[in-house]
């Protein structure tokens, strides 16, 4: 923990697709809420430019939109223009008030829009990039060398060829909420976003890999619980519903937003035999992997993106070569008894706790503030 006595004034620029509060379950706003809460406990003054319905005790909200854009996007004839208009409004407000703060922390979506203001302000800006760094995004970030660019995993950082990523800071999970439980029940768990993106043939891409989870459960005759947000009901009707039975269960209702509360997610994770991270894309972080391990639950995941950073292979779960597909998942499943739940918990306490995340960002803020004086 930083030892400086002077408390900072910090301006947060979040994504505006969702509000920031204690109930939201989406990864980016949840990480922002947890980080701000940790900073508030340490006496720092935090202001957010975001949605009017955002709420964090003791934090000032500067509203530029009534609700998260996902909630109101259908009200607009051209959602793209409407969303970019609000994003521009946020950036201009940040430019207007930014010099009143010690640090600006940018989490925008997309993050690079807010970088357009950095030449007009003197306050240091930290930008945490939450998504996958594609070549075009890498190119754009390289145009803004002044911002202190943070990635949320080494895998994400390694995707940058031109942009200068200056630090990796892992997201943290609330180990008090995701409590340790040694005794497990006889089911596998998959939680994630069931995306609407399709390939050129019209098939759903299934980036989070729920199809693999279903194939594994069917192959080994295991119980499987599926939960998450469904962005397109056709995906559910075509790829999930036909496989539901007395062993494969979809938890709660089909909804564009995650219908489970954080406590309900924790309950499921604490009791699961294993959590499945059967992704088909390079996940920049994967908060659910840390949450599951915090509960003492091992992870079986394909070796894509950050999986090998969050999961200690053969100790807190199994990192499976994607080329081995179902065979590799089955091999890992039959070895689950080798994993000790306490090792999963220790991995999170050491590397992925909220306290560690807040520590690292606080130290970074102080460093940049002192360099700017």
Over residues 146-195, the pLDDT tens digits come to 889 999 999 999 999 999 999 999 999 999 999 999 999 999 999 999 99
Start and end residues for every CATH 3.40.50.2000 domain found in the chain: 9-172+353-372, 188-351
Among 20-29, 343-352, 355-364, the range scoring the smallest mean pLDDT is 20-29
Q: Which of 101, 100, 120, 115 is nearest to 10 (CA)?
A: 101
Highest mean pLDDT among 23-27, 80-84, 114-118, 291-295: 291-295
pLDDT in tens, 81-92: 999 999 999 999
Confidence class of residue 5 from pLDDT cuts 50, 70 and 90?
low
- Structurally, at CATH architecture level, domain 9-172+353-372 sits in 3-Layer(aba) Sandwich (3.40)
Can you give the pLDDT at residue 113?
Answer: 92
Task: For domain 188-351, give its CATH number from 3.40.50.2000, 3.40.1380.10, 1.20.1630.10, 3.30.70.1400.
Answer: 3.40.50.2000
- Three-class DSSP labels, the chain: CCCCCCCCEEEEECCCCCCCCCCCCCHHHHHHHHHHHHHHHCCCEEEEEEECCCCCCCCEEEEEECCCHHHHHHHCCCHHHHHHHHHHHHHHHHHHHHHHCCEEEECCCCHHHHHHHHHHCCCCEEEEECCCCCHHHHHHHCCCCCCEEEECCHHHHHCCCCCCEEEECCCCECCCCCCCCCCCCCCEEEECCECCCECCCCCECCCCCHHHHHHHHHHHCCCEEEECCECCHHHHHHHHHHHCCCCEEECCCCCCCCCCCHHHHHHHHHHCCEEEECCCCCCCCCHHHHHHHHCCCCEEEECCCCHHHHCCECCCEEEECHHHHHHHHHHHHCCHHHCCHHHHHHHHHHHCEHHHHHHHHHHHHHHHHHHHC
């Amino acid at each position: 923990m930083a030892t400086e006595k002077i408390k900072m004034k910090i301006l947060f620029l979040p994504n505006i697709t969702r509000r920031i509060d204690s109930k939201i379950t989406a990864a980016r706003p949840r990480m922002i809420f947890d980080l701000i809460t940790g900073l508030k406990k340490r006496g720092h003054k935090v202001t957010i430019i975001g949605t009017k319905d955002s709420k964090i005790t003791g934090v000032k909200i500067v509203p530029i939109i009534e609700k998260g854009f996902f909630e109101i996007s259908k009200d607009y004839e051209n959602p793209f223009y409407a969303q970019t208009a609000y994003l521009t409004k946020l950036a201009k407000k940040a430019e207007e008030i930014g010099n009143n703060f010690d640090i600006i922390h940018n989490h925008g979506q997309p993050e690079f829009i807010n970088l357009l203001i950095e030449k007009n302000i003197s306050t240091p800006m930290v930008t945490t990039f939450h998504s996958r760094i594609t070549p075009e995004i890498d190119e754009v970030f390289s145009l803004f060398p002044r911002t202190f660019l943070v990635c949320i995993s080494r895998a994400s950082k390694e995707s940058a060829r031109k942009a200068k990523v200056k630090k990796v800071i892992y997201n943290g999970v609330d180990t008090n909420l995701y409590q340790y439980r040694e005794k497990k029940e006889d089911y596998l768990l998959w939680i994630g976003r069931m995306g609407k993106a399709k390939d050129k043939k019209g098939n759903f891409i299934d980036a989070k890999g729920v199809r693999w989870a279903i194939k594994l459960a069917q192959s080994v005759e295991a119980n499987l619980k599926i939960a998450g947000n469904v962005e397109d009901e056709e995906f559910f009707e075509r790829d999930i519903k036909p496989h539901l039975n007395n062993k494969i269960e979809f938890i709660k209702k089909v909804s564009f937003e995650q219908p489970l509360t954080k406590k309900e997610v924790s309950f499921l994770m604490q009791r699961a035999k294993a959590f499945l991270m059967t992704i088909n894309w390079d996940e920049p972080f994967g908060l659910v992997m840390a949450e599951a391990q915090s509960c003492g639950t091992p992870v079986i995941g394909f070796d894509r993106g950050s999986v090998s950073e969050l999961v200690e292979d053969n100790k807190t779960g199994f990192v499976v070569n994607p080329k081995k597909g179902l065979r590799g998942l089955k091999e890992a499943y039959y070895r689950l008894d080798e994993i000790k739940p306490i090792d999963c918990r220790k991995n999170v306490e050491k590397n992925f706790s909220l306290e560690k995340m807040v520590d690292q960002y606080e130290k970074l803020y102080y460093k940049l503030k002192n360099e700017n004086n």
